[in-house]
Structure 1
Amino acid sequence: MEMVYCDYKNRNMRFIMDLNALKSFVMVAEALNFTKVAERRNTVQSAISSHVTKLESELDRTLIIRGRGQSMSLTPEGEALAVYARRLLSLAHEARETIQTSRSRRIVRLGTTVTLAMSIVSDVLAAYATERTNVQIHIQCDRSEALLSRLGANEIDIAFMMDQGEPKNRAFVHSQPLAWVSGENFQLRSSDDVPLAFLSDGRDLRRYALEALDTVGRKGHVSHLSPHPIGVRAFVQAGLALTIMPMLCLSPPLQIASTDLNLPPLSQVALSAYTKSPHNQDINLLIEMLKKRLM
């Protein structure tokens, strides 16, 4: 028997609500007929009446007016209880579903960068969910440099990021072409310095861009910084600067910068996945899907 136990010490009042009785009461409140509710609940009318009487006794209030030869009706207290009873029954159902589901579902904790989460990772989530219906993926976003530490502290199961040059626990490393990225209306004369937007701590991509420009004798300067990829995206989308990113991470309205800008080719960037649980099938499947998406 499921109960809702209430203890109001400051009012010196204590009562226990039987969820089964609440269910009967809600059905009576809707049907206003004990016989019909008894039939629906596959029980006898006296049992339904007993449920309502029990609630009235616990609350010390009349909930239903049972006039002889008259239609049944709810008292104001009955109307109020019907509202709360529906909430309690809904919460009880939600709690049961959550606990039972969490017991049967497994969890894979993926750590990645915001940029990769919004592009490559999102591309594989639907396919993974189809393959592993009983696995929940928890995504935690952080800087590439911080993800290895979080993996070492067992805060995540997989770290998917720009390669950190650390072979320990590395599941794969795959090179990806970088692209100059602009907004739709970005304009630049060939004689102008190239304005660039990067993450505040995006030193690696910044270096790739400036070194590429230097090889062709062209000047570039970091005109905009943001601690978050959305901020970088806003600067680029507004046409205020260029940035660079792995080509697979590109999404509209950002686009590959026009060849009319005469920008130099870029080197490739290495993306890696790390894990300390190489024998876990759920983890391995997600790693394989990420690897396949990069190829």
Structure 2
Amino acid sequence: MENNAYDAKELAHKLEQGTITAEELAWFEQWYAGFNDEEVLLSAAAHSSADELRDAIFNRITTQMETPARPKAKVITLWRGIAAVAATIALICFATFYRNTVLNVIDPVKELQLSAAAGQHRHISLPDGTQVWLSPSTWISYPDKFRGDQRLVTLTGEAFFDVKHDANHPFIITSGPIKTVVLGTSFNIKAYPGAATAEVTVVSGKVGVAEHDVPKSQQQIMIANQRTVLTLADRSLEKEDYPAAVKFLDERNGLFNFNGETVQQVVNNLKRQYSIYISIDPELAKKGFYGRLNTNQPAAQTLNKLCAVMDAHWTLVDNHYLLTSQASKN
């Protein structure tokens, strides 16, 4: 078979099926290197997608049907133009359909994994420009380049996302028992292994949440200052208003403002942030705490501030922190 007799569409199909020969693959790679798919996808006037271009063609046909009849030569010219645009659509569809297959052979996608250690907050930028702040003891997995119709990420732990808007490529996060779908917005996900609940809180934009990998799963759509909580015990997925959602802008950097939460709730947070074990006097646990804690500081320093406000003290025995009130000590 002569090189000029190869059919690109046929070879693309063989590539997808895994039946392409080495000689055919070499020709196809050379053909693809000279084929500017980005130029095709962005050409045809200002149309940004095949659907947009197709709609423009139909609108043009409708307009021509509603206008007075023209000389035959003009009509022929019109239909030649429509045929040319239709051919462009075919090329766009071809390039879009086979583009990822070709690129995945020539330049394979690599899966990356990053983590934040106990007591560490980590800020990363994803390939599409999305910004992510990882909380301590959190892992994230994502491709080194996003291809296809979706941007897929896997999260274990807690992270704050500021997703780059892309209406044509939804950003989907799988985090334990829940799946979160967005186009572009900012929100916080908390889904630690072994936890009784998983939470998604929206700071701006709109977010869809559903149970992950469950037939006929429940779904919730949220806007800013709303939160959805999945309780694993009964698989309930409840949405609620959450006016304090903006607090996650600080918490993503390890800064926590408490406004009357019990000391037990504060301690639970510190245990997660530092990956340490803390037990607490039952009476002290019930009291409310008002203050700001910076978990970027050593655990001992943070506990000193908590105890100073609550008139308490802490001791460390065999990597076990014990918090008691001064009253019980006396």
TM-score by length of 2: 0.26
Question: When you count helix as a share of all residues, which structure comes out higher?
Answer: 1
CA radius of gyration, larger in: 1
**Highest relative contact order (Cα 8 Å, sep 6+), 1 or 2?**
1
TM-score (norm 1): 0.28
Higher strand share: 2
